[in-house]
Amino acid sequence: MKPDMFYSRGLQLSKIKVFVAAIMAPGFHFDRWFCLFRKSWSDDHTLLISKEKVKPEHLELLVKTEWQLSYVTPLYQFRHTQLKSYSRQLSAFIAAEKQEGLAVEVGGLQNTFKVSFSVLQGLAETSDDPETVLIQVPMFARQEDPPKTVWCGWLSCINGNPEYLQSLPKDFTCLPLFCSKGAEDLSSLVKSWLQRTFDCCFGPLDINQTTLQWLAALWTNCHMETNIQNLKMIWTLPVLPPLQVTYTVDSDDVLDLWRSTRESSAEKSREAEDEVCIDFSEVTRFMQGLMSHFYRHFRVDLSAGELNQVSSALGSAKVNGKIKISSSRYLISIFSLLTECALLKMPI
């Protein structure tokens, strides 16, 4: 007989619980991102090494493509060694879904339609990060040589919170960031297969205001090394009819503004000179500078609106979770940032 009461399951989720609590603490976000900046900017070695680690054809694939972002809960019983079997399964699954009412033998399509599963090496940054997995789907029911990829997506975890990653039992693989491009129906087929196979869940990952502002600051900072041409921001203002403001700033001017924001704070923390530390307050001040400039000229207060899009020669990011990165140079830092955003969406 069971007493009429509630007790919790025999789970040892204490670590995960800590993480939940941490997410809810307001300072959590920024501390993490600040570390990340420091890592990728001050320590170019890491960056260069990872660039070398990633195969050139993979790099080519990753950049200059607009990715649609999703977050994924940890995958159950995912094995990097089983990719061949996954490839057979997913090929059969897509084939069966494409031709409803026709059963398909798993592994029976080797020659006609083959989804490729591969490890995209070199993106994982720490030993806790599982390797990135790349999925490519060719055109169905058309035999081309070589088969043309019509859909592509990858699951990754770059600089994931080690505390969270270590708290998961070993049956789980945490690849929280899912980027895809290609037809919507294929995306949902692949997602639904992954969901069924690894008991995970997919949710849309939007790039929120804060992240967009970070990206604006990050790209501006890059102008010191690479020409970013312009910093373009698109705002929407809640007026009737809705007003869309496209705000483009010359790269040199915006870098000046960023430097002046940095200088004032750099004085404050002189002792930490050897490390490039960026505080979220600096980003906020930078954005305020941009907004007040706009206000002075047009008498429109952008802070009342929403930042929807940020772009520069290095890439573009939209609030609805679409991101395009044009230079491989800052790939790792941006995807670390997005991994962080995805981890923040984890339900437990």
# binding residues, another protein (CB under 8 A):
57
Asked if 17 touches another protein (CB under 8 A), the answer is: yes
| Alpha carbon 205 to its chain's center | 8
Asked if 239 touches another protein (CB under 8 A), the answer is: no
| Alpha carbon 12 to its chain's center | 29
Contacts for 65 with CB less than 8 Å, ≥ 6 apart:
152, 181, 324
What are the CA-CA distances from residue 12 to residues 15, 207, 275, 332 (Å)?
Answer: 8, 32, 38, 33
Interface residue with another protein among 42, 44, 48, 77 (CB under 8 A) is 77
Q: Provide the 3-class DSSP secondary structure of residue 260.
A: helix
Closer by beta carbon to another protein, 12 or else 111: 12
| Alpha carbon 276 to its chain's center | 23
Interface residue with another protein among 26, 146, 242, 347 (CB under 8 A) is 347
Asked if 76 touches another protein (CB under 8 A), the answer is: yes
Q: Provide the 3-class DSSP secondary structure of residue 232.
A: strand
Distance CA 39, CA 210 (A): 19
Asked if 21 touches another protein (CB under 8 A), the answer is: yes
Query: Is the distance from CB of 221 to CB of 283 less than 8 angstroms?
Result: no
Distance CA 146, CA 141 (A): 14
Distance CA 319, CA 310 (A): 9
Q: Provide the 3-class DSSP secondary structure of residue 323.
A: strand
Closer by beta carbon to another protein, 85 or else 288: 85
Asked if 111 touches another protein (CB under 8 A), the answer is: no
| Binding segment (CB under 8 A) for another protein, from list 9-17, 225-233, 234-242, 332-340 | 9-17
Interface residue with another protein among 24, 111, 270, 299 (CB under 8 A) is 24
Interface residue with another protein among 147, 182, 203, 289 (CB under 8 A) is 203
Interface residue with another protein among 73, 136, 251, 261 (CB under 8 A) is 73
Interface residue with another protein among 42, 85, 227, 292 (CB under 8 A) is 85
Asked if 127 touches another protein (CB under 8 A), the answer is: no
Supply angle C-alpha 22, 25, 30, rounded to 5: 90
Can you give the binding site for another protein, defined by CB under 8 A?
2-14, 16-17, 20-21, 24, 73-74, 76-77, 82, 85-86, 89, 92-93, 95-97, 100-106, 108, 168-169, 171-172, 188, 192, 195-197, 199-201, 203-204, 345-348
